[in-house]
Each structure stands twice: as C-alpha cells, then as structure tokens.
Chain A
Amino acid sequence: MTALTRPLRRLLGRGDPAPSAVTAVPSQPTAIDAPAQSEAIAVDIPESDPLLAYLQSAPGPVDIAKLELDSPAVRAMREAGVALVVPLVSQGELIGTLNLGPRLSEQDYSTDDRRLLTTLAAQAAPAIRVAQLVREQANEAAEKERLAQELRVATLIQQQFLPRQLPQLPQWQVAAYYGPARAVGGDFYDFVEMPDGRIGIAVGDVTDKGVPAALVMARTHSILRAEASRSNSPGEILSRANALLVPEMPAKMFVTCLFAVLDPATGHIVLANAGHNLPFVRTGDAVTELRATGMPLGLMEGIRYEETEGDIAPDSNVLLYSDGLIEAHDGAREMFGFDRLRSALAIDDAGSELLDRLLETLNAFTGPDHEQEDDITLVTLRRSAGVADGDATAGSTALTAFSLPGATGNEREAMDRVAAAVADLGLPGDRLERLKTAVSEAAMNAIEYGSQGHADVPFDVDVAVTPTDVVVRVTDRALSGAVPTDAETPDIVRKLAGEQKPRGWGLFLIEHMVDAMDVSTDDEAGTQTVTLRLSREETSHG
C-alpha cells in the first residue's frame, strides 16, 4: 500500500502478502475499497522519525522485523504486522512506501521477490509522484479559486459603496483614491450633503479583510449616510452610528472612522473622530493635524465623540487617509510613516494635485514590485487661492455658489439659480432679465470652451453682492483655453449676406446686457465676471 500525500502519511496494508497484488491507493483510509483481509490502516510517520531518513537512503526493501532502529514508526508497523517495507523514491525524494505483511507461505521474502519489488517500486514511484503533484495542484487551484472568488465578492461589495462622483464644490478641488490590497480590506470613503447644505466627508477603515470586512464596511456606510441625513453634528453622527454598530459587530472587529463637515463657502470644518488617523492640513509650509479623538465604532456602547473645528484658508490642502498609507513598507521593511507623509505634504506645489504627488511619493518609496499589504484610501481637498471671505471686492456678500455639469442646457439652469439667488435684491425687472441673459451666455461659453460639452467637466458659478453691484463669476476648466474675446464683432448685415456665420453673439450680448464684464484665463481655469449695477441710474448701457 502506498501513501500519496505529504507530510508523509503511510498506509499500512495487511493480509495480502503477494507482492504482485500490491496496489497504490489514495491516502484517505475511508476511500479504500479493499477486501477485509486487505484492510488498510493509516500510520503517520512524523517528519522527525529516524525511519524516514533510513528509508530515504535504503537501497531496496527493508525487513521491518529485523530493523534495529529506535523508531516509534517501526514499532507501530511491527504491531500492525508489517514485514517488509519497500521505499518509493522519486528523484531522490522519498514519496511513500509499499508495506507488506508476511508471505502467505510463511517463508521469508526471497531474493527474487525483493528484486521484483525493487523494480516495481522504481517504476511505480515516478507515476505515484506525478499523481501526487496533480492532486496537489488541483487542491491548490481549488483553494486559489475559492480565495479569488471571495476577493471578487469583497471587491464588488467595496466598489458598490464607493462614491461614483466626487462633489463639485466651487473654488475647491476634491480628489479621492481607493487602492485595494490584494486581500481587500475594509476601507471606505464617502461624501454626503448635510441637511444644512454643507458637505459631509467620511473616511473609515474596518479591521479584518475580505468579505467580512466588506460587509461591515457596507453596513457602516449605510448607517453613516442615514445618520448624516438627520444631524449636522459629526460627533452626534458617530455616536449614533456607534450605538447601532455595537450590537451587531462581529467579534474582534471594529471600525475606525473620521467624519468631517465642511462649509465650502467659508472653509470652516468641524470633525469628529472614532479612532481614525487625524487629517492633515497644509497651509504655506506649515503642516498641522486637526486633532480629535474617540473610540473606534462598534467596540463599546455609550461613547460620545468630541468635535474639533478649524478653518481651511485659501490655497490650503486637507488630507484624510487610511493607515494603509502610513504603514506601507519598502523592500527593506521600513514603514512609510508620518515623517515622510508630512514632508510630502509640506511641498506647496499648486501646480500638481496633492493626491497624485502623494501616490508618486508612495510608489517611489515602496518600489515597483511592491505588493500592497492593506487598502489605501486618500481624500484630498484643496481650497483655491484668492477666494477668501470678502473676495476681491471689498464689502461683498456671497449669495450663492454652485457647480453644474458642462452639458448644453445647463446654462439655463445656471441662469435660473442666479435669478433665484438675487431675487431678494429688488432688481428692476428689465435689469434682472439682462443679468439672466448675461449669466446664461457666460455659462454657455463655459460649457462650450471650458468643458467642451463634456458633462463630467463642471463649471462653477458664484454670486456676490456689494453695496452697488451684483457680481457673478463663472469659472470653467479651460479645456480649450480662453473664451475668445478677440472674435469678430457680429454684424447682422454680413451675417444675412452669408459673410459671417449666424452664430457668435455670446460675448456681444453679455457686453450689452451688463455694466462690466471681464474674461481671464490661466492653464487651469477660465473666469468670466459680469457686474451689474443695482440701480438703474448708474447703468452705463441702455
């Protein structure tokens, strides 16, 4: 009888001593379908047993009865009635044994018997080894497929709950990155509109990996969303989420989570923290942490979470992240760590996205062959320069700010929203109509030149009022450069004669509708600013 699996497990065959009747069987005793006389007993030979070394170097069949070796396995074999053991060696490796009881004739095995057994073993061993390898590979493949399937499920769950779109906040650039580890952890991030119109930002990390972590992540995500629709307080949201998660949290699992609420118009941020990494804020060369502490979610009932407040100045960056970033290792097993992160953050390079720069720094640190150990989540917010409260115009009050997808038709939406925002200013009806047409035309320029009609490239509109003027600023992403201000002045006579195209009225109309207009463009943004005097008397166009 032979054994086929490793660590070496020997099957002990008894009763059928004829060498020609010896057959190879699978290692599981239950799988053996043999006559009662050939009943097989599984005997494990421990790796440490000297019999293994002996058989490895034995030139042929070994008489167990006569073998002088202090070996528990030898004793077990003798007790089981084994007389002769034939080592099965393939490519110098002992892969099993043929164990035979005494001959039925009660005579010793002859020299011919032994020669025959040696030949048989030499021929059987490679075939058995191949069978062993095939089975091992099949087992490995099945295990791999099972793990891959679990990963697919975990990834699918994870992806279902990541935001499909980033919030479009005027004067803010929001970016997010989620890089799953091979084993898929439980990282998540989310953006929610708060009941008071501010924007809620959640970043979290579930302990554990795979499907269990993904399911807890999904549940936490849903709870946070639901609670954020009922409260504007991040501390209260985390406290309620904790109360809901504690009773249903699987053993040894918990969730770290940071919940921040940002007012995009002022840069004011309020946050609460359930055991998550503290966010960093970079302003100029200074990198500071927004410090708030609290227990992770799901560990203990009745936890209250303190809130921290701060103000994000123009030209500042905020980074929220998971510990997969900090705990990434290089080839020498050194951790990326907080110092490297702070150094990368401190570079005030408005020309590149912070998120891209962090990922480049991280990739340079870990090297190209790095296998990511944990999920990495990054959320970055950048407040544009030069939009401090009060703006460029002294004494101005912000009325509204919004972003719209750069799709044809949204100029009408922009127009209506600006009209609603200035409704309380008491503009004379004809002046309101002029402002609406100017805004609509500016928005159309933004869609045509800034977004090139791509709905996923938004444009921003902000409206402010000064003691004398309404100022509307339409900012686009300048995909095709500046709105052309040097185009030919539209001439109806030439247009009717076919010497000019029928179109080309946009800037002409804006100029004639409002009291002042300005167009400026850099590499990243084009801005059209239209100004309308509040009172008719000061109107310059008529």
Chain B
Amino acid sequence: MDDRRFGAQVVEVPDEVRVRMRGDLDSRADETLSAAYGDVVSLGSQRLTLDFHDVGYINSTGIALVVRLLADARRDGRGVRAVGLTPHYREIFRITRLSDFMDIVEGDAA
C-alpha cells in the first residue's frame, strides 16, 4: 500500500453503521479510530461493522484499539462485526479471542 497512514470513513448503510478503515492499524490510528467511534455513536445505529478490506497491517497496538472500541460498543449495547480481514488477521482475532465477542465475516461478504 503506497499510503500507509490510517484513515477511517464512517458510512451509514441500511440497518448499520460501517467504519471503513484503510492503512496501517497501529498505535498511530488511536485518535482517528476514537473519532470514528464518536461518529458511530452520534449516528445511533446499534449495528457496527468494522471494514478491514483496505487495512494491510495490524499490530498488537492496533489490536488494543479494536479491544477498546469493542469494549465501548458493548458498553453502549452495540453489536460489532468485522469484514475484510485476511486469513492471517482472522487467525489473530481467533487467538486473541476477539472473535468470541464479534462476528468475523469471511470473504467479501458485506
């Protein structure tokens, strides 16, 4: 990926709010991801989809950001699912047991 800077776009689609992420998900994504979740809250939807299609790299600090977002979403009674994760990162979500608390959607399913 040429531009690895993290970015997040919050999109409202029927029945859910989707956070489309791009770039590297690491500690430097902190503010952007927090702001995105703020937008999700203001839109009020109870279904949140994290779209990882354009995320090429996630490290442990990025995992920590997902954990925090998931904790916030659970506190707010919001269901979370993840789409677009590569098999490797699906494996990491499984090892860390993030997959026990969010739906991991395989393939390109939206």
* A residues neighboring B (CB under 8 Å): 408-409, 411-412, 430, 433-434, 437, 440-441, 444, 490, 492-493, 495-498, 501-506, 508-509, 512
B63 within 8 A of A: yes
Shortest beta-carbon distance from A314 to chain B in Å: 33
Shortest beta-carbon distance from B36 to chain A in Å: 16
A496 touches B74 (CB 8 A): yes
Pick the contact of B61: A433, A434, A503 (CB < 8 A).
A503
Given A411-B59, A492-B97, A502:B65 Cβ within 8 A: yes
Pick the contact of B4: A412, A501, A504 (CB < 8 A).
A412
With the chains together, A505 CA to B67 CA distance in Å?
11
B57 touches A495 (CB 8 A): no
Task: Given A412-B26, A437-B88, A502-B68, output 12 extra A-B contacts at Cβ < 8 Å.
Answer: A433-B86, A434-B88, A437-B92, A444-B60, A492-B100, A495-B67, A496-B70, A501-B64, A502-B71, A505-B60, A508-B60, A512-B95
B24 within 8 A of A: yes
B60 touches A412 (CB 8 A): no
With the chains together, A283 CA to B74 CA distance in Å?
63
B45 within 8 A of A: no
A409 touches B71 (CB 8 A): no
> Considering residues B24, B70, B91, which has the most beta carbons from chain A within 10 angstroms of its beta carbon?
B91
B71 touches A509 (CB 8 A): no
Which A residues touch B98, using CB under 8 A?
492
B13-57 near A? 1/0 per residue, CB < 8 Å = 000000000001011100000000000000000000000000001
Interface size on B, residues (CB 8 A): 28
A496 touches B28 (CB 8 A): no
Pick the contact of B28: A409, A440, A492, A501 (CB < 8 A).
A409
- Chosen A-B contacts, 23 in total, with CB atoms closer than 8 Å, are A408-B27, A409-B26, A409-B28, A430-B87, A430-B91, A433-B88, A440-B59, A444-B59, A444-B61, A490-B96, A492-B101, A493-B97, A496-B67, A496-B70, A496-B71, A497-B71, A498-B71, A502-B67, A502-B68, A506-B60, A508-B96, A509-B60, A509-B95
**In terms of DSSP, what is the predominant structure of the interface of chain A?**
helix
With the chains together, A44 CA to B57 CA distance in Å?
89
B60 touches A441 (CB 8 A): yes
Which B residues touch A434, using CB under 8 A?
88
Pick the contact of A509: B26, B65, B92 (CB < 8 A).
B92
B59 touches A437 (CB 8 A): yes
B71-110 near A? 1/0 per residue, CB < 8 Å = 1001000000000001110011001111011000000000
B59 touches A492 (CB 8 A): no
Shortest beta-carbon distance from A535 to chain B in Å: 18
Shortest beta-carbon distance from A539 to chain B in Å: 13
Which A residues touch B61, using CB under 8 A?
444, 503
With the chains together, A509 CA to B101 CA distance in Å?
18
Shortest beta-carbon distance from A225 to chain B in Å: 32
Shortest beta-carbon distance from B46 to chain A in Å: 18
Shortest beta-carbon distance from A18 to chain B in Å: 93
With the chains together, A434 CA to B100 CA distance in Å?
21
With the chains together, A490 CA to B88 CA distance in Å?
20
Shortest beta-carbon distance from B89 to chain A in Å: 9
Output the nearest chain B residue to A444 by Cβ-Cβ distance.
B59
* 9 nearest A-B pairs in the assembled complex, by CB-CB distance: A505-B60, A433-B88, A502-B64, A503-B64, A502-B67, A492-B97, A502-B68, A506-B60, A496-B71
Given A440-B59, A444-B61, A495-B67, A505:B88 Cβ within 8 A: no
With the chains together, A503 CA to B27 CA distance in Å?
10
Which A residues touch B24, using CB under 8 A?
412
Shortest beta-carbon distance from A103 to chain B in Å: 99
With the chains together, A493 CA to B100 CA distance in Å?
10
